[in-house]
Structure 1
Amino acid sequence: MHSCIERKMIIWSLCFLFSLSDLILVLASSAKHLCPPDQRDALWEFKSEFSVQELDSSWWESDLKTERWRNNTDCCSWDGISCDSKTGKVVELDLWGSSLNGPLRSNSSLFRLQHLQSLNLSTNNLPGILPDSIGNLKYLRVLKLRYCNFFGKLPSSLGNLSYLTDLDLSVNQFSGELPDSMGSLNRLSELQLRYNNLDGNFPAVLLNLSELTDIRLSYNKFKGILPSNMSSLTKLESLEINGNLFHGSLPSPLFMIPSLIRLNLEGNSFSGPIEIKNISSPSKLEVLSLGQNNFDAPIQGSMSKLAGLRTLELNYMNTRITLDLSFLSHLKSLDYLDLSGNDLKFSSTLRLPSLGWLFLSSCNIVEFPKFLQTQTSMLLIDISVNKIKDQVPEWFWGLQIPHVNISQNYLSGFDGSADVIQRTGDVVTLDISSNAFRDPFPLLPNSTDYLFASDNLFSGEIPRAICDLVSLDRLVLSNNNFSGSIPPCLSTYLSVLHLRNNSISGVIPGGFMSYMLISLDVGYNRLSGELPKSLVNCTRLQFLNVEENRIRDTFPVWLRSLPILEILVLRSNEFHGPISYPGSSLPKLRIFDISRNNFTGILPSDYFAGWSAMSLPVVYFEGDSQYRFSGVGKPYYRASVSLRNKGSNMELVGSGFTIYKTIDISGNRFQGGIPESIGLLNELIVLNMSNNAFTGRIPPSLSNITSLQSLDLSRNKLSGEIPPELGKLTFLAWMNFSYNRLEGLIPQGTQIQSQSISSFAENPGLCGAPLQKTCGGGEKARNQEQEEDQVLSWTAAAIAYLPGVFCGFILGHILTSYRHEWFMRIFHSFA
């Protein structure tokens, strides 16, 4: 009995020990999951190396991950951090779009994270060179540094990253050639270097990287002919080298790569015939882009070997070529075809594959293409910029194409009954701009969401039939001769309303303003009254242009409630009164034009303090650079605005809104000093404060606006000197200080000295180049005067010095004698 109890106790003890050991192991294992202190400290120090300031971009939103880090918590739980499950070491750092600002230093604490396998710092502002220290992260498999504003040469230490499989350095300012050391990246599969300034011949080091599946070198400065042994890249699936300076014939070895799916050679200087040779087995090629080159011979029949082709772009090739479209009949899988910018030859019996997307812009087509009648599943047709006359045929509406661009032709109307046209249920986008349409306004498909009808011959009142388009989202009727008033019946869901350059009168109705409104342009009309305060409800408004009307109102201070307003143009109206209110209310504003009104008052010194979009660097989106009509998502609305730049008027369209940052308050009655806070807008490009009554000195803080290209301060009451610091603004190509009360020497500097005399005229006190007036009788006289002043100064000093020495000697002797006598008395008293 006793032994039995003992055995049970032993068993229970062993079970307890095993359980306890398991618990210890679990706790120990759990402890290992925690981020080690050295890793946490390195991350925390890395965070402190940068300021966090949102970049200026309209196509992505920042995610301030590092702002949510807490130093007293496990760093493996921080946003953007992943750790090894066994060791707790940081293996992934993803701070994409975290608004980090500042250079990546060579001694950055980042490089203490020696176990990193994935690093993504894309879409941050890290201006500077990519330090060699990047090569210390020897376990990296993924490195993504896209949109970071890096410049200089690629560091040779990249070759140390022998585990690297994915490298993306796109959209920076890297220059020079690829370092030879990159030939050591034997595991590299994806390489993206698009949108940089890299040059030299095609990087031969890449031909040794047999694991490469994706090479993207688009929009650089690579040149020369492609190497003949490109077929050595046996696993290559995608090659994009468009937008470079390559030349020579179409490189046939590329078509011998059995795995190749996507090939983009667009926008180079390739020449010769388009001929596909040496394909022994069925090609896997699905995307072929050869447009914008100099091919000088018709397409050969061998194109039929690419039976699996789904996308073919042959746009804007040599204008001497006339393309015979019969070769397309062999491409049964073709879905996307772009032949824009070529002379086309096609017969009335031509039968194309069943296409989804067809671009035939600028092809010298003179009649509506009949071969479209066989297309039953098309999503988009673009036959803009041709010579097509008469009317759109009735059969066209039966094709039910959702996105239609027939702009820039000579079309005058639609053929077909109301039943045929209005009940066409699939038309979403209809662009009939720049044609010969005139009254009566044509019947429209009821399904139309986006209607572009600018630059035609319409007149009379805006037709109320437009109000029947219940799903209408974007309406552009600019550059016609519409009169009357804006119909209040317009859809309350409009996101874009452009009525620019018509003869519309009356007031802007306030009741129809949609909370969905993004862009409102009613410039160059005859509108009067006040700006409707109902716009305060349009919290999505980005673009507001009412220039060249007769609107009489005070400054719309309620615009402070519009958080994403980017463009405000009130030019040439009858606005009046002060405009002073805290500038921090306009954080997104990039174009501010209130010129040629009757605004008055003094601008407080901190007026521009919160205009952060004008002080942040621009992040360029690669799609901003060119416009193509597209039915994907919401089509581009072609906003435009007139600006005064470098003394001349210019029309700003499209991507210019992203690049230009301007302030124009000229032609008003402002007084007082120019606000010192103007110097905070260091990304400002155009500043025009002319034709006012500004007084005081030109603020030296203007020299902080390092991007400034055009400065006009003429016709004010400014006094004092032109700040010498302005001579350091290397981009300042045009300036005007005329008709003020300025004085003193014109600053030295290449940009200032290159200005015409008229830029400094009517300032009686100004002197020096480029004016003919010298300062103080000329340089020689001024130097002589300075020398004489120096001589007089030294003489005066000497005259003052000699009596001083004599007096000092006498005084010193007296003091010395007195001190000796005093010392002797003290000595005798102690003795």
Structure 2
Amino acid sequence: MRLFLLYLHILLFNFPSFSLSSSNFLCHPEDSYALLQFKSSFTTYTNYACQEQPQKTSTWKNGTNCCSWHGVTCDTVSANVIGLDLGCESLQGNIYSNSTLFQLSHLQSLNLSYNDFFGTHFHSKFGGFQNLTHLDLSSCNFQGEVPPQISHLSKLISLHLSRNGQLSWKETTLKSLVQNATILEELILDETNMSSIHPNSLNLIFNQSSSLTNLNLQRSGISGNWKNNILCLPSLQELDLSKNDYLEGQLPNLSCSTFLRILDLSYCSFTGPIPLSFSNLTYLTSLSLIDNRLNGSIPSSLLTLQNLTSLSLKDNLFISGQIPDVFPKSNRFQKLDLSSNKIDGQLPKSLSNLQHLINLDLSSNSFSGQIPDVFDGLTKLQELRLGYNRLEGQIPPSLFRLSQLDYLDFSNNKLKGPLPEEISGFQNLGYLFLNNNLLSGKIPSWCLSLPSLGMLDLSNNQFTGNISVISSYSLYYLKLCSNKLQGDIPESIFNFANLATLCLSSNNLSGVVNFQHFSKLQKLDTLSLSRNSQLSLNFESTVNYNFSILSTLELSSVGLIGYSKLSSGKFPGLRYLDLSDNKLFGRLPNWLLNIDSLQSLGLSHNMFESMDQFTRNQWQNLQGLDLSFNLLAGGISLSICNKSSLILLNLAHNKLTGNIPQCLANVSSLQVLDLQENKFYGTIPNVIGELQALHGLNLSHNRLTGSIPQSIGNLSSLESLDLSSNILTGVIPAELTNLNGLEVLNLSHNHLMGEIPQGKQFNTFSNDSYVGNSGLCGFPLSKKCGPKQHSPPSANTLGSEEN
């Protein structure tokens, strides 16, 4: 026995690396009591951010050793509770000043993140944990001001208070904290309120912080002009000031922070060029300056930083010259995003050196010339976006050998020529966008048989020939519209259970298609077959078509005659229906009248003769109604005024007559009203000036008489006004000069007289706006106004003078 005790004594005292688990000690009763009381003061809720996290407090049982409880750490010598981790515990309730949490005075680490303490103020008692080295209260819904007592936590190494939007800082509190916590390394305060702190004060706050390595002030409300040479922190490795929309001025000179690895200044309002001093940040691995107002050229020295793996300069104003052709073979780029700028010139051939690249986005610029054949070495490339440029010529063959590519967008360029008939890559391609180019030839079979393809857009090209058999069973988005495709729609298209969008419009497709087959596509949301004049749709009147989630149906110019073949169908979710440019007439089918969800109905260029069916109580959510180019006669039904959601009403080129209804003023949401080429007579109702949302008003080519209402001058959103070819008399109201956004004005061919009003937009209109009014004079007409030809003042002007 004595030998055993001697051995144990040697083991415990002569080998300091050996220690017993904290759970082998019985925790102090007062700590156990404090923890159980703290737990009992909360309820739990469904926390979707932490769904897979097991609940730690389920192991907390009275009478058991709290040092063995999940989330609890005890000191191995004193057995005091020194660590409490209840992050993602789904606790809900308040932490009051008498909470037993504050009795755990030996805490060194406290994590309460991702719980809901909504309404709880950040108590000064948190400043009593003077041994605390790590404090994480992020995403807890704390509110109020951070108390000055937080500066008592002088041993802090890490402080996380992020995503507490109602938590605010005073400059003095933050300064005291940083000055007292001399070993602080991590300060994560994103999405707290620091709007009272001017950016130039940050230098005063952090100038003594030699230990800080990670500073996050993202979306903290800092605003004002940033002066140079601030935040010169010698140990700083990560700095995030992104999403402070009103933080402006030029980018700071951060060359003094020589160890900086990650820098994010995105979504601010910085201006000017990228400082050359950024090229001195040789440890930099990630730089993000997205969505600022930066201009000038991209420094070539920035592109040669050997440790830089991610560079994002998206959404700025870089315009000068092309990308420097300087990428070294030693680069480590994995992500390069220069999209949405104004960079021009040709793509550099040294792109071939970016052999670690995973994501390359140069879209929405002004690049021109051919795409260089540089892809053989980019074997890791997964995303490639060159859309919305001015690139031309053929797609280089090396591109089609990439095996890891998942996303390819070359849309909206001037690329031409055929696609290769066979390829060896693209096994993992999920998204292919080649739309809006000049590509020609047949669509190769591989385009429609890639095993992982989900989205394919080849629309607006010059592809010819038949559509081959489609076997990409993962397809849910297929657009082949606006080409020169011929032949039948392949039967294989009806086998795609996941297909949600199908656009085959504006081609030369032919043959007979049983419309019922499209109802097999249970996830179909958008179907467009418009403008295929040789295509014949077979609607069997005995079949009840069920399109449960179809929201958009475009069947214009497909030779539909009457409604006898459209007598049945279920379209419970249809919102946009275009049946224009057919030969439809007669009564509308009940299935169409009963679609409560309908928002837009296009029936132009048909042979309808009456408005009765279009103006009843159906379609209360209708926003757009186009009945132009029909044979509508009679007056406008007053029930049209009950469609309060209507944004566009187009009744142009019909045979409508009578007065323009006064009740149209009730449709306050109306933005476009087009009644041209009808037989309306009477005066323009003065209430037209109550349609404050109007952008376009066209009453031309009717038989309207009387004067132009002064109230039109109240339509502050109006961009286009056409009252031409009527019988309007009187002067042009001076109130129309108040229409600051007016871009199009046509008052020609009326009987107007007097001087044309001057000022603002009226000074930009030419003679064409007034031709055919022999009584008009003044600029821009060559006819000068005599003493008796000046326009009289408006009624409003007279009223103001009398007052």
Same fold per superposition (TM over 0.5): yes
Q: Which has the higher helix share?
A: 1
* 1:504 and 2:504 are equivalent in the alignment: no
C-alpha distance in 1, partners of 2:686/2:304? Answer: 61
* 1:397 and 2:501 are equivalent in the alignment: no
C-alpha distance in 2, partners of 1:377/1:262? Answer: 25
Q: Given the superposition, is the C-alpha separation of residues 515 and 544 from structure 1 closer, same or farther in structure 2, using an over 3 Å criterion?
A: same
Aligned residue among 712, 717, 733 for 1:613? 717
- Give the conservation status (yes or no) of the 8 Å contact 2:328–2:353: no
Gaps of 5+ in 2: 1-101, 106-120, 129-142, 148-163, 176-188, 206-215, 233-238, 790-803
* More deviation, 580-589/495-504: 580-589
Q: Given the superposition, is the C-alpha separation of residues 167 and 559 from structure 1 closer, same or farther in structure 2, using an over 3 Å criterion?
A: farther
C-alpha distance in 2, partners of 1:599/1:393? Answer: 53
C-alpha distance in 2, partners of 1:192/1:205? Answer: 16
SS in 1 for 2:321: strand
C-alpha distance in 1, partners of 2:567/2:327? Answer: 63
C-alpha distance in 2, partners of 1:89/1:608? Answer: 54
Residues 426-447 of structure 1: CA deviation (Å, up to 9, x unaligned): 3332111121246665569632
1:84 alignment partner AA: W
1:739 alignment partner AA: S
Q: What residue number does 1:382 align with?
A: 479
C-alpha distance in 1, partners of 2:720/2:461? Answer: 38
Q: Given the superposition, is the C-alpha separation of residues 28 and 156 from structure 1 closer, same or farther in structure 2, using an over 3 Å criterion?
A: closer
C-alpha distance in 2, partners of 1:711/1:381? Answer: 46
C-alpha distance in 1, partners of 2:300/2:717? Answer: 39
Q: What residue number does 2:782 align with?
A: 760
* More deviation, 182-191/568-577: 182-191
Deviation, structure 1 residue 318 = 6.3
Q: Given the superposition, is the C-alpha separation of residues 422 and 192 from structure 1 closer, same or farther in structure 2, using an over 3 Å criterion?
A: closer
Aligned residue among 413, 422, 431 for 1:336? 431
Q: Given the superposition, is the C-alpha separation of residues 317 and 687 from structure 1 closer, same or farther in structure 2, using an over 3 Å criterion?
A: closer
C-alpha distance in 2, partners of 1:93/1:695? Answer: 62
* 1:677 and 2:735 are equivalent in the alignment: yes
Q: What residue number does 1:310 align with?
A: 406
- Give the conservation status (yes or no) of the 8 Å contact 2:418–2:442: yes
SS in 1 for 2:574: coil
SS in 1 for 2:567: helix
* 1:591 and 2:696 are equivalent in the alignment: yes
Residues 379-420 of structure 1: CA deviation (Å, up to 9, x unaligned): 01112233333332333222342211111211234445x764
* 1:567 and 2:672 are equivalent in the alignment: yes
Q: Given the superposition, is the C-alpha separation of residues 551 and 255 from structure 1 closer, same or farther in structure 2, using an over 3 Å criterion?
A: farther
* 1:495 and 2:530 are equivalent in the alignment: no
C-alpha distance in 2, partners of 1:278/1:424? Answer: 41
Identity %: 20
Residues 535-556 of structure 1: CA deviation (Å, up to 9, x unaligned): 3343332211111112224333
C-alpha distance in 2, partners of 1:158/1:277? Answer: 39
Q: Given the superposition, is the C-alpha separation of residues 525 and 582 from structure 1 closer, same or farther in structure 2, using an over 3 Å criterion?
A: closer
* 1:690 and 2:789 are equivalent in the alignment: no
1:544 alignment partner AA: L
Residues 159-180 of structure 1: CA deviation (Å, up to 9, x unaligned): 479899444469x9x9986564
SS in 1 for 2:655: coil
User: What is the number of equivalent residue pairs in this alignment?
Assistant: 592
Q: Given the superposition, is the C-alpha separation of residues 312 and 565 from structure 1 closer, same or farther in structure 2, using an over 3 Å criterion?
A: same
C-alpha distance in 2, partners of 1:710/1:179? Answer: 46
Q: Given the superposition, is the C-alpha separation of residues 699 and 87 from structure 1 closer, same or farther in structure 2, using an over 3 Å criterion?
A: same
Aligned residue among 155, 163, 168 for 1:83? 168
Q: What residue number does 2:450 align with?
A: 352
* 1:523 and 2:633 are equivalent in the alignment: no
- Give the conservation status (yes or no) of the 8 Å contact 1:132–1:157: no
* 1:274 and 2:373 are equivalent in the alignment: yes
C-alpha distance in 2, partners of 1:486/1:88? Answer: 71
C-alpha distance in 2, partners of 1:552/1:570? Answer: 10
* More deviation, 454-463/522-531: 454-463
TM-score by length of 1: 0.59
Q: What residue number does 2:774 align with?
A: 739
C-alpha distance in 2, partners of 1:666/1:80? Answer: 56
C-alpha distance in 2, partners of 1:136/1:560? Answer: 59
Aligned 1:790-801 pairs, distance under 5 A:
none
TM-score by length of 2: 0.61
C-alpha distance in 2, partners of 1:666/1:121? Answer: 52
Deviation, structure 1 residue 334 = 1.0
- Give the conservation status (yes or no) of the 8 Å contact 1:592–1:664: yes
Deviation, structure 1 residue 134 = 6.5
C-alpha distance in 1, partners of 2:740/2:532? Answer: 43
SS in 2 for 1:343: strand
Deviation, structure 1 residue 335 = 0.8
Gaps of 5+ in 1: 1-18, 37-78, 96-107, 123-129, 615-660, 716-735, 747-751, 753-758, 768-831
C-alpha distance in 2, partners of 1:232/1:131? Answer: 39
- Give the conservation status (yes or no) of the 8 Å contact 2:605–2:629: yes
Aligned residue among 639, 651, 656 for 1:534? 639
C-alpha distance in 2, partners of 1:596/1:476? Answer: 26
C-alpha distance in 2, partners of 1:533/1:134? Answer: 63
C-alpha distance in 1, partners of 2:747/2:432? Answer: 50
Deviation, structure 1 residue 265 = 4.8
Q: Given the superposition, is the C-alpha separation of residues 398 and 577 from structure 1 closer, same or farther in structure 2, using an over 3 Å criterion?
A: same
1:595 alignment partner AA: S
Deviation, structure 1 residue 460 = 3.9
Q: What residue number does 2:312 align with?
A: 214
1:480 alignment partner AA: N
Q: What residue number does 2:546 align with?
A: 446
C-alpha distance in 2, partners of 1:120/1:580? Answer: 52
Q: Given the superposition, is the C-alpha separation of residues 296 and 371 from structure 1 closer, same or farther in structure 2, using an over 3 Å criterion?
A: same
- Give the conservation status (yes or no) of the 8 Å contact 1:228–1:251: no
1:269 alignment partner AA: S
Q: Given the superposition, is the C-alpha separation of residues 193 and 233 from structure 1 closer, same or farther in structure 2, using an over 3 Å criterion?
A: farther
Aligned Cα root-mean-square deviation (Å): 5.1
SS in 1 for 2:679: coil
Residues 74-100 of structure 1: CA deviation (Å, up to 9, x unaligned): xxxxx98862278467998999xxxxx
Deviation, structure 1 residue 299 = 3.5
Deviation, structure 1 residue 483 = 3.5
C-alpha distance in 2, partners of 1:219/1:157? Answer: 14
C-alpha distance in 2, partners of 1:479/1:26? Answer: 73
SS in 2 for 1:552: strand
* 1:425 and 2:527 are equivalent in the alignment: no
2:574 alignment partner AA: L
Q: What residue number does 2:115 align with?
A: none
Q: What residue number does 2:155 align with?
A: none
C-alpha distance in 1, partners of 2:299/2:441? Answer: 33
Deviation, structure 1 residue 315 = 4.5
Deviation, structure 1 residue 421 = 4.7
C-alpha distance in 1, partners of 2:481/2:342? Answer: 27
Q: What residue number does 2:567 align with?
A: 465
SS in 1 for 2:656: coil
Deviation, structure 1 residue 467 = 5.2
C-alpha distance in 2, partners of 1:579/1:94? Answer: 56
Q: What residue number does 1:409 align with?
A: 507
Aligned 1:709-720 pairs, distance under 5 A:
709-710=764-765
2:168 alignment partner AA: C
C-alpha distance in 2, partners of 1:687/1:145? Answer: 42
Q: Given the superposition, is the C-alpha separation of residues 425 and 131 from structure 1 closer, same or farther in structure 2, using an over 3 Å criterion?
A: closer
